[in-house]
Structure 1
Amino acid sequence: MLILVRHGQTTANARGLLCGRADPPLTDLGCRQARALAAALPRPVRVVSSPLGRARATAAAFAPSAVEVDERWTEMDYGRLDGAAPSDVDAATWRRWTTDPDFVPAGGESLTAVGIRVREACRELAADAARGDVVVVSHVSPIKAAVAWALGVDDTAAWRLYLADAGVCRIDTRGELPRLLTFSDPG
Structure 2
Amino acid sequence: MKPTEILLIRHGETAWNAERRLQGHLDIPLNAEGTRQAKALAWALQNEKLHAIVSSDLQRAVQTAGEIARLQGVSTRIDKGLRERCFGGFEGKLYSELPSLYRREYNAWQAHEPDAQFPPGENEGETIRQFHKRVMEHVLHYAKQFEGKKIAIVAHGGVLECAYRAAKDLPLHAPREVTIYNASINRFEVTGKDIKLVQWGDIAHLDADGLDEINQTKVEKH
TM-score w.r.t. length of structure 1: 0.90
**Structure 2 unmatched ranges of 5 or more:** 206-222
- 1:114 equivalenced with 2:114 (yes/no): no
Equivalent AA in structure 2 for residue 184 of structure 1: G
SS in 1 for 2:135: helix
User: Which 4+ runs in 1 deviate beyond 6 A?
Assistant: none
Q: Distance in 1 between matches of 2:30 and 2:133?
A: 28
- 1:181 equivalenced with 2:198 (yes/no): yes
Bigger proportion of residues as helix: 1
Q: CA RMSD in A?
A: 2.0
Residue-by-residue CA offset, 1:10-65 (whole Å, 9 max, x unaligned): 00001122111112211111111111111112231110000001100001112146
Q: Distance in 2 between matches of 1:50 and 1:74?
A: 5
For the 8 Å contact 2:188–2:199, the answer to whether it is kept is yes
Q: Distance in 1 between matches of 2:141 and 2:37?
A: 28
Residue-by-residue CA offset, 1:58-81 (whole Å, 9 max, x unaligned): 011121461111111101111111
What is the aligned-residue identity percentage? 29
Query: Who is 1:14 aligned against?
Result: 18
Q: Distance in 2 between matches of 1:53 and 1:176?
A: 29
Query: Who is 1:55 aligned against?
Result: 61
**Structure 1 unmatched ranges of 5 or more:** none
Equivalent AA in structure 2 for residue 59 of structure 1: A
For the 8 Å contact 2:181–2:201, the answer to whether it is kept is yes
Alignment of 1:1-187 (within 5 A): 1-41=5-45, 42-64=48-70, 66-90=75-99, 91-98=103-110, 99-107=112-120, 108-128=125-145, 130-157=147-174, 159-174=176-191, 177-186=194-203
Farther-moved stretch of structure 1 (75-84 vs 46-55)? 75-84
Query: Who is 2:217 aligned against?
Result: none
Relative to 1, partners in 2 of residues 1:111 and 1:88: Cα closer, same or farther, differing over 3 Å? Answer: same
